């Protein structure tokens, strides 16, 4: 099972709405179960450099089925996965990427958000991931 475009677009919309509430400008990327880009939106005036980061966060979250910030705890100097960021063409391991689950708890894709503090990025990603509902 992989996320559908309709679900991915609802995740983007919910993330955009949350960003507006927080007063921040975000790049929002959703990838499918194969880590392929499925939906994307860059809000007007968002940092250019965050475009690439948002997509990498989404891919990273799906590559290892965990929040990017969790991977980042393991990739610190002295940690077990130090410099894992050099794999897969470049990972991003700070917060803002989250797996997207269906109602059975299976990973069907992931969302990556970049454009503000990592706390804001994470909050906006949560709003997006939480908006995905199963399609019946």
Residues 18, 43, 6: CA angle, nearest 5 degrees: 70
- Angstrom distance (rounded) from CA 72 to CA 40: 24
Among 20, 21, 106, 117, binds a second copy (CB under 8 A): 117
Asked if 64 interacts with a second copy (CB under 8 A), we say: yes
Q: Select from 32-40, 98-106, 125-133 the region that touches a second copy (CB under 8 A).
A: 32-40
Q: Select from 88-96, 97-105, 123-131 the region that touches a second copy (CB under 8 A).
A: 88-96
Among 17, 22, 35, 101, binds a second copy (CB under 8 A): 35
Residues within window 91-110 making contact with a second copy, judged by CB under 8 A: 91-95
Asked whether 49 and 92 are in contact (CB, 8 A), the reply is no
Asked if 63 interacts with a second copy (CB under 8 A), we say: yes
What are the Cα distances from residue 23, in Å, to 26, 73, 82, 84, 114?
Answer: 10, 28, 34, 33, 14
- Angstrom distance (rounded) from CA 115 to CA 53: 9
- Angstrom distance (rounded) from CA 13 to CA 7: 10
Q: Select from 64-72, 97-105, 126-134 the region that touches a second copy (CB under 8 A).
A: 64-72
Residues in contact with a second copy by CB under 8 A are 4-5, 8-9, 32-44, 47-53, 56, 60, 62-65, 72, 75-78, 80-95, 117-118
């Amino acid at each position: 099972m992989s996320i559908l475009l309709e679900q991915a677009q609802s995740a983007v919309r919910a993330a955009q709405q949350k960003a507006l509430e927080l007063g921040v400008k975000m790049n929002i990327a959703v990838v499918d179960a194969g880590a392929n880009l499925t939906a994307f939106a860059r809000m007007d005036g968002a940092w250019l450099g965050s475009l690439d980061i948002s997509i990498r966060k989404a891919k990273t979250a799906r590559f290892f089925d965990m929040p990017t910030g969790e991977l980042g705890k393991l990739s610190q100097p002295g940690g077990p996965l130090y410099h894992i960021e050099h794999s897969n063409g470049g990972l991003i391991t700070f917060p803002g990427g989250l797996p997207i689950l269906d109602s059975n708890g299976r990973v069907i894709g992931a969302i990556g958000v970049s454009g503000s503090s990592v706390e804001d990025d994470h909050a906006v990603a949560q709003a997006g991931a939480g908006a995905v509902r199963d399609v019946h």
